[in-house]
Structure 1
Amino acid sequence: MSRIQEMRQEILEGSIEKTLLKLAYPLIISNLVQVLYNITDTFWLGKLGREALSAPGVSWPLIGTLMSLGMGFATAGFAFVGQYIGAGEYEKANKAAGALYSLMLFFSAAVGVIGYLLTPYALGFMKVTDNVYPYALAYLRIIFIGIPFSFTSFAFSFLMRAVGDTKTPVKINLFTVALNIVLDPLLIFGLFGFPELAVKGAALATIFSNSLGSLIGAYLLFTGRVGIHLTRETLRPDLSFYKKIFRVGLPSSIGQSANSFGFVILTRIIFGFGDVTYAAYTITTRLVNFLTSISRGISMAMGTMIAQNVGAEKYERAKKITERTMIVNFTIASIAIILIGVFRVQVFKVFLDDPAVIAESAVVMKYFLISVPFFNGIFMVVNNVFQSAGHTKKSMLLGILRLWGLRIPLSYLFGYYILMSSKGVFLGMGLSNFIAASVGILWFLKGSWMKRIIEH
């Protein structure tokens, strides 16, 4: 408890830059390692061909749609626990954490079953090509079996971030990602006596590693070694607190799942221009994720500081934290995009030496990637502020505006009617980032998020 109190004091009164860096660097490492795994996964699957490489990219919008329902409740739990810590209400923080964890256990089981059953229909709806379909189906169904472990794993990470402990989840993540990287080639290609499972091997490596990480996190929570201490008492279903989590978490769940489903629609739009266009999009976004992992880590660290400062009703400090985070993230994302533009061809050849895909990547760069600094540096930061403050309706509306109000209609309009090519799709995606970032910063400056959600 003393460690949590010391961190709280630093978050509420210490140097903004120093505290932000202290919280952010483990998250940055975690993000970089996670994206390194995604790139490794893409590298190995690329050896099997364009169709196998596209399977995870096709699958994650659908997985994300269902997982985002749970992510919304995890966001609510994060806001409650963070604000209780900021207010110095440590017992209430434990109670909120227990309610979140028990709710996630129930919810994840239902999501796993529903996802498994819906997979064939969802892939058909996305108009996944016949070449990619069997790979995506196999990958998805295995992933959905392990969904409960994924839910409890990110619940653990959210709870640790809420109390200001960003190092423990990273240590677990480093272990699980390293295990995943080792298992990938063994199960994909059947090396050293392992079965040759191709795309199924990549999925099995993922759920095995995630499950192990989830169990380690549960052990730490139940033994009380990480500040939060879960017990039978705190895990007991608490309908009154479930209502609070639903009240705050439901808008976030709706917003995040609607956005994830929007990427299902976007996948359908992109696939309308063929496997080459989608393969270029998949590789390019993986590269962006790698190069912008620093800004994502800083944004997540900012969320911890926002939650606790709002809980302590230090709103002007929270605003100052946000503004400084925007400047840092915009700069980092801009440098990342420049690097991608300079080394695009050489890097693409590492993953897939396909001239058609490499040529298409230039289109993605020109019409879409230049907008990424506005997404990472402004939109993502503002959205995180709204969620961390517990004002999830604002984050829901902002997210839905970007995807459903702008990205999908603009991509479809420019792609199929105005430019009638993949250039139009990526132009629409880029414009959605520019416009949504402008709306987001105006809404942030209005200051309506400066109100905590916990009781006085």
Structure 2
Amino acid sequence: MKEKDSVENNEKSPDNRKKSGEKIISDNKTISANGKAFAGESRENKMGVMSEGKLLMSMSLPMIISMLFQAMYNVVDSVFVSRFSMDGLTAVSTAFPIQNLMIGVFSGLGVGFNAFISKALGEKKFDRANEVARQGIFLEAIGYVIFLIIGLFFARTFMESQTGDARVIQYGTEYLEVCCCCAFGIAFQMTFERLLQSTGRTMYSMITQILGAVINLILDPIMIFGLLGCPQMGVKGAAIATVCGQCIAGTLAMIFNIKKNPDLHITLRRFRPHGEIIGKILSVGVPSVIMVAIGSVMNYFLNLILYSFSKLAVAVFGAYFKVQSMAFMPVFGLNNGMIPIISYNYGAQKPDRMKRTMKLGVMVGCSIMVFCLAIMQVFPGQILKIFDATDEMLLMGIPAVRIMSTAFIFAGFSVTCSGMFQAVGKGVYSMIVSMARQLFVILPVAYFLSKAMNSVNGVWAAFPIAEVFSVIISTIFLLRVYKKIVKPMESVQRD
């Protein structure tokens, strides 16, 4: 191992490069005597030198925009489906836990290899970064196989476990079968977008997200209602439109990685699974996946509680949850821009940059959520009418939106802390926070209050209560990260 490290250090040494006829050029790239650049071996990535505010903005703004467009997939599907059939909206809402889990698996694994690629680049270990990318692609492929099996054999079983309504079951089964069996599209998209993000090229991932969402937006009405000579496919058409957008976006993301991402050079020739790297990716990625899986479990059991009141309650919750996703996406985008910055500077041993980035993240995240809270409180009826809400749906939905959205006051801090935990390899902290909030608090509180109040409003009230617990636990873990990771780095710098 010592010999290997010595060789790597010698290879990276500017003096040795000069001896071998290479030179360092002013734009921080190493080139050989014949003028050929060593791809990926930039002396310092912008994540280590640019001012934190400007860097966070440049990294996060494209991610915020792209994740808003990502959220549009589900929202647009629900909007058009609600105009096709209210049972269709209920079916899509009932199917959402599986669809949400799918997104969580592919994005969670992406968070895992994203963080370690950025850390490897910060440490100037370029071969390591390429190998992490290869192992990440392998894990995403395994994820697709899992959802293919679910789509082929378990879609109807999942729907029947929640409701006995034949039409809702049929619509939901058709929707899930298409989304799960064609999940290679979203796997492809998430994988190559995360590779772009890990090297700071978030603008390209924004372009792919926007393209996929626009394609979905165009195809949805055509396929659902049978326009322009296309047969009317209803809810199934919404699913087909979604996977078409994902496949095209994923293809473009792969092209961007090949043409516009010199920091990574990925080849699958002679590929072999690497246990140590896979273990490290999963150490961060699995907690991220579990966090989303917990959300899917929460969604599933809340649907069961809501079905005990009415199908309308499920439709209201489904509509709200899609809008909530739009509200949270800017903060998730901020997080995705923040994680590689903190990871890079963690690898480069720059604690001051880590702290300043985190503080900016919290400030911006909380500001975004307060703004979204104001919109939800002032315009709940207008928001629900996007989903073609009836008077009966508005009567139940307006107080529901106002009660549940009060959780936004606390959510910005918790979500941003989650990004910090993932960036320093403590994804398990994020998992614990999510488990406490979405399993150990929200479900029992929702069940108890709905029975005690004999009203569906008890379910809505569980959301802000659970978020208060999230803030308390997040604060405890954040202080622990500072004490165990950041403070020792500061001590080394002072010495």
Work out whether the TM-score is over 0.5: yes
Question: CA contact under 8 A between 1:68 and 1:256: conserved in structure 2?
Answer: yes
Aligned with residue 436 of structure 1, among 451, 470, 473: 470
Are the aligned partners of 1:98 and 1:234 in contact in 2 as well (CA < 8 Å)?
no
Q: Match of 2:8?
A: none
Gaps of 5+ in 1: none
Q: Does 1:250 align with 2:283?
A: no
Give, as a single letter, the amino acid of the residue that structure 2 aligns with 1:218: M
State the number of aligned residues. Answer: 450
1-side partners of 2:63 and 2:330: how far apart?
8
Q: Distance in 2 between matches of 1:341 and 1:389?
A: 36
| Compared CA separation, residues 40 and 73, structure 1 to 2 (3 A) | closer
2:439 is equivalent to residue 404 of structure 1? yes
Choose 238-247 or 308-317, whichever is displaced more: 238-247
Task: Point out the more displaced range, 178-187 or 339-348.
Answer: 339-348
**Partner residue of 1:419?**
453
Number of the residue aligned with 2:205: 169
CA–CA distance in structure 2, aligned partners of residues 432 and 81 of structure 1? 34
Q: Which letter does structure 1 place at the counterpart of 2:441?
A: L
Structure 2: how far apart are the matches of 1:239 and 1:31?
A: 31
Distance (Å, rounded) in 2 between the aligned partners of 1:70 and 1:210: 13
1:209 is the counterpart of 2:245: yes
Q: Which deviates the most, 201-210 or 292-301?
A: 292-301
**Structure whose residues are more often helix by fraction:** 1
* Within-5 A mapping of 1:20-419: 20-127=56-163, 129-222=165-258, 225=261, 227-233=263-269, 235-375=271-411, 377-416=412-451, 418-419=452-453
Larger Rg: 2
Whole-Å Cα distance in 2 between the matches of residues 286 and 64 of structure 1? 11
Moved more, 8-17 or 192-201: 8-17
**Structure 1, 441-450 or 351-360: larger mean CA deviation:** 441-450
Deviation sequence 1:358-395 (CA, Å, 0-9, x none): 111222133211112311x1111111111122212211
Deviation track 1:46-69 (CA, whole Å, cap 9, x = no partner) reads: 211211122322222123335534
CA-based RMSD of the aligned residues comes to: 2.5
Letter in 1 for 2:446: S
Q: Which moved more, 1:237-246 or 1:302-311?
A: 237-246
Query: Percent same amino acid among aligned pairs?
Result: 21
Residue 167 of structure 1: how far off its partner (Å)? 0.9
108 and 212 in structure 1: CA distance in 2 versus 1, 3 angstrom threshold? same
Q: Calculate the TM-score normalised by the size of structure 2.
A: 0.84
Q: Distance in 1 between matches of 2:378 and 2:453?
A: 26
Post-superposition offset of 1:292: 4.3
State the AA in 1 paired with 2:58.
K
Residue 195 of structure 1 aligns to a residue whose secondary structure is coil
Higher relative contact order (CA 8 A, sep 6+): 1
Are the counterparts in 2 of residues 256 and 396 from structure 1 also a CA contact under 8 Å? no
For 2:205, what is the secondary structure of its paired residue? helix
Query: C-alpha distance in 2, partners of 1:49/1:15?
Result: 51
Measured after TM superposition, the shift of residue 403 of structure 1 is 0.8
* Partner deviation per Cα, 1:282-336 (whole Å, 9 max, x = no partner): 2223333334443332222111211111121223431232122112211221121
Tell me, what secondary structure is at the counterpart of 2:201? coil
C-alpha distance 239-445 of structure 1, shift in aligned 2 (>3 A): closer
Task: Name the SS for the 2:398 alignment partner.
Answer: helix
Give the SS at the match of 1:352: coil
**Counterpart residue type for residue 415 of structure 2:** M
Report the Cα distance in structure 2 between the residues aligned to 1:8 and 1:184, rounded to whole angstroms.
Answer: 44
For residue 79 of structure 1, report the CA deviation from its aligned partner: 1.6
Classify the secondary structure of the residue corresponding to 2:266. Answer: coil
State the secondary structure of the residue aligned to 1:14: coil
**Structure 1 residues 449, 355: closer, same or farther in 2, change over 3 A?**
farther
Note the alpha carbon deviations across 1:93-130, whole angstroms, 9 max, x for none.
11110111122223312331134312222222233644
Asked if 2 retains the 8 angstrom alpha-carbon contact of 1:65 and 1:260, the reply is yes
3-state SS, counterpart of residue 374 of structure 1: helix
CA–CA distance in structure 2, aligned partners of residues 382 and 128 of structure 1: 41
Give the letter aligned to residue 80 of structure 1: F
| Letter of the structure 2 residue corresponding to residue 420 of structure 1 | N
Question: Quick check: 121-130 or 381-390, which moved more?
Answer: 121-130
> d(CA) in 2 for partners of 1:29 and 1:218?
20
